Amino acid sequence: MPFNLSSLVNSLITNEPEKYLHEREVSLFQFRTWIYFSDDQRMVDAAGKLAAAAFLRKHEREAARKIPGMGRGMEVDSKCLIKLLRTADYSNLYNAFFAENGWTGLLRTLSPTDFNRNVAERRKAVETVSEMIDFRFRALDHKTLTANQSNVSRGEFYRWHEHPAGELSWRTIRSRWKDNRSSAPFLYVSEKFGPSFYPPLFDGVRPTKAIIEGTPGRSQVRRFVGMSLYVAETIVSDLLSEYDGMKTLAVPRIRPKTSALSTGDLAKMEYYKEKRDEMRNN
């Protein structure tokens, strides 16, 4: 199934009937993955396929005692699979993710081990991007600085120059921003205001439980999306321009509660022109 962000998010914030079994759980897992991996379509694709496969396996086990020829603990052979595919619940979910290449599509997908490793690695980049957006958003939302005075370069400087979270090279800051720029407002809201939308690790033993446990409800998702879009629109950026329809979602915008930039932050930014080249050569 081709990934369409606005369509996926719409399915999470409205009461439309599910197109396939466990659509909400699978879509939410994909959405959470996109927030932290908007630069990596492989991760979003893997989230969908791995989650779909886990729920299909769960359905197989639940159907074991209902379909003649299947018993508890039996493997699903071709005859059993044909019977399952004749049921709407199983076939709709299967077709949503495996209609094109069948189960062999999993061979082109990241393994659960690789998926989990990437999720753990990405945690390092989260703080950097969140701090850059925090500076830019508060500067504009509280009308402390102009758009030019709070652009991406100055956001990088804010994180680079005497930041309480510790030193980072400009190359590292720039790289992390480029990787997460498309979903940065969502990442920021997830990290600063909660609930956290950080994707859970894929549990090979109890995968569906790991995906479902602690997932935000529909009202929480609506609030999260509304707040994220408010941040994106306040920054007046083209961060979401590549995702048609995202900014027109029918969800109320919610202003996050933040404080204005401190006098210390503003004083620090006065060194930008003087130290900008030093930052970029760092």
pLDDT for 79: 77
Angle between helices 41-63 and 23-36 (to 10 degrees): 160
Question: Are the C-beta atoms of 266 and 138 separated by less than 8 Å?
Answer: no
SS3 content of the chain, % helix, strand, coil (to 5): 65, 0, 35
174 phi, psi to nearest 5 deg: -60, -45
pLDDT tops 70 at residue 101: yes
Region 69-80 average pLDDT? 63
Pick the range with the lowest mean pLDDT from 19-23, 150-154, 206-210, 234-238.
234-238
Region 172-198 average pLDDT? 94
pLDDT for 64: 65
pLDDT for 83: 84
Region 146-157 average pLDDT? 96
Domain ranges in the chain?
5-113, 124-280
**DSSP three-state, residue 167:** coil
Question: Are the C-beta atoms of 49 and 29 separated by less than 8 Å?
Answer: no
pTM of the model: 0.90
DSSP classification of residue 103: G
Q: Where do runs of H (alpha helix) occur along 64-87? A: 78-85
Beta strands in 167-243 (DSSP E): none
How confident is the model over 8-56, as pLDDT tens digits? 888 888 888 888 889 999 999 999 999 999 999 999 999 999 999 999 9
